[in-house]
Amino acid sequence: MAARKRGIKPGKRSGTAAGSNWEDHLTRRARAENYPARSIYKLKEIQEKFQIFQKGDVILDLGCAPGSWLLYASQQTGPDGRVFGIDIQAVEIDLPSNVTVLQKDILEMTEDPFFEKVLGCQVVLSDMAPATTGRKDVDAFRSFELCRMALETADRVLAGKGHFICKIFQGNEFSQFQKQVKQRFSECRVFKPDSCRKQSKEIYIIAKHKRTK
């Protein structure tokens, strides 16, 4: 199962002229600002609203290709912080010196020593999405499976009081996943950035302050 960000390609239609123009605008803006995908604006909205990142943070980005979130997280954490990314796809852009990327399938990394590098990190991000089939129930379940893996990773590496951001497709498993997140974090919000496509089923779980046992 491919876990990846699904950026909007230039010229892709959303079903309406206005939607297409808006998507093209965001794509052009991202390119002009030296980001590889329009997904940058989703994370930027999340940061501006919820203040997830702080200077000096260690951040883990799951499903990090093509790299927009890596770049933004690097800017937010600054030269004293570190950003680590994992994706089954290669990240082909030039990255700052405080960013490290591993090309690997998260579903096959149960015992990978890579996680020792991020143990005690302050933020875990997941913009992972399955390769879609067109069947909403199947796609939503596959998204849930990736989200479950992301949450297990946060359980493993995230420091107490740390934050977890996760994209999920809305479906039958959404309430179950939200409940699991609420059990682990003091604050749990549901947020759909304005830069998401209006017809998209994707939504973000914003979980802050990991509970300590």
Active site residue 167: yes
Residues contacting residue 9 through CB under 8 Å, at least 6 positions apart: 27
Residue 170 burial (CB count, 10 A):
16
**Closest by alpha carbon to 146, among 122, 121, 163, 171?**
171
The catalytic position among 42, 167, 208, 210 is: 167
Alpha carbon separation from 158 to 20, 40, 154, 165 (Å, rounded): 38, 23, 5, 12
Cβ atoms 118, 53 nearer than 8 A: no
The residue written with tokens 């990978």 in the block is: 112
Nearest to 46 by CA among 188, 129, 165: 165
The two three-digit tokens of residue 31, written as one number: 């390119």
**Residues taking part in catalysis:** 167
